[in-house]
Amino acid sequence: MKNLTDLMALVATLICNFIKNPETVYRRFEFFVKEEWEDLQGEVKIIFFGPFIDKGRIATPASTKATTILELLQELKKELQARNIPLYKYSNGEFYHPDTLTWFPNAKVHNNGKPSKLVFLPQGGMTEGKMKESAEKLKVGHKDYLSNYIEKVIDLVKQGFYDEPARYVGAFLEELKEDDQAVCKLWAIRDSDGRFDLYVSKALESDKWFAGFGLLLSNENLAT
C-alpha cells in the first residue's frame, strides 16, 4: 500500500522536473489533473532518444520491382502524384536533382533495407558531426544505401507524412561520391511552399540542421 511518504517522493520529483522544464511538466500535469487522457497519450508518445526526439515514426523500405535507381525514383514520383503532392522541377525536368544519379553511377537497388526510426532534432538544432557522434554513442547505424532510403521515403509518403508542407528529412549515405569519394547525404523535403524535391549534397561535420528536421537512423532494433 502506498503511503504519504511515497506521495511526497513523487511530489519532490515533480518539483525537480518542473524546475528543469516548467512548461512541459505543467502541460502534462494539467492533462492528468483534468483527466484529458487522449491529450496526455499524444503527449507521452514524444520521447527523447538520446539527444534526438522520437515521435514513434518508423520508415520501412517499400517492396519494389525496380532494378535501377531511376526506376525507383519513378516509383516515388508515382506515389507523390497519387497523394496530389506538387513536385519541384529541376533542370532535368524531374523532382530529383540530376546529381542524385550522376554522383553515384554505380548505385544499385539492394532490396535489403531494414526499418529506420525517423527522429527529429531538438531545440537549437545539431551539426552533422554531433549527429554522427550521438548515433555512435547510441550504437545505432546512421548510414544506409541510396536505394534503401528512397524506399523508406516512399513508405513515409504512403503513411501521409508528407501530406503537410515544411517536412524536412535527411539521411547519410553508404555510397561515396564517385569522383572524390566524399561522404554524402540525401534530402527528401516538402518545402514550405508545398513542393516536394529530392537531392544529394556532401556531408560536412560543421553543417547544422535546424530544430525539427528529421533524420533517418538505420537500425532494425529501433523498430520494436
**pLDDT average, residue stretch 15-19:** 76
Quote the pLDDT of residue 45.
46
Q: Is residue 40 a contact partner of residue 95, using CB atoms and an 8 Å limit? A: no
pLDDT band for position 39 (cuts 50, 70, 90): low
What pLDDT is recorded for position 33? 61
Cβ contacts of 3 within 8 Å, gap of 6 or more: none
- Report the alpha-carbon distance of residue 92 to residue 154 in Å, rounded: 21
Angle subtended at Cα 125 by Cα 132 and Cα 222, rounded to the nearest 5 degrees: 50
pLDDT digits (tens, 9 = 90+) for 134-143: 998 888 889 9
- pLDDT at 224 exceeding the cut of 60: no
State pTM to two decimals. 0.78
pLDDT at 78 over 90: yes
Question: Percentage of the chain with pLDDT > 70?
Answer: 83
* Cα 150 from Cα 140, distance rounded (Å): 20
Tens digit of each residue's pLDDT (9 = 90 or more) over 166-212: 999 999 999 999 999 999 999 999 999 999 999 999 999 999 999 99
Residue 31: what pLDDT? 58
Amino acid at 137: K
Report pLDDT for 1. Answer: 54
Mean pLDDT of the chain: 87
The Cα-based distances of 107 to 96, 141, 146 in angstroms read 16, 20, 7
Q: Label residue 165 by pLDDT band (50, 70, 90).
A: very high
Closest C-alpha to 169, from 148, 190, 154:
190
* pLDDT exceeds 70 at position 71: yes
Cβ of 19: how many Cβ atoms within 10 Å? 9
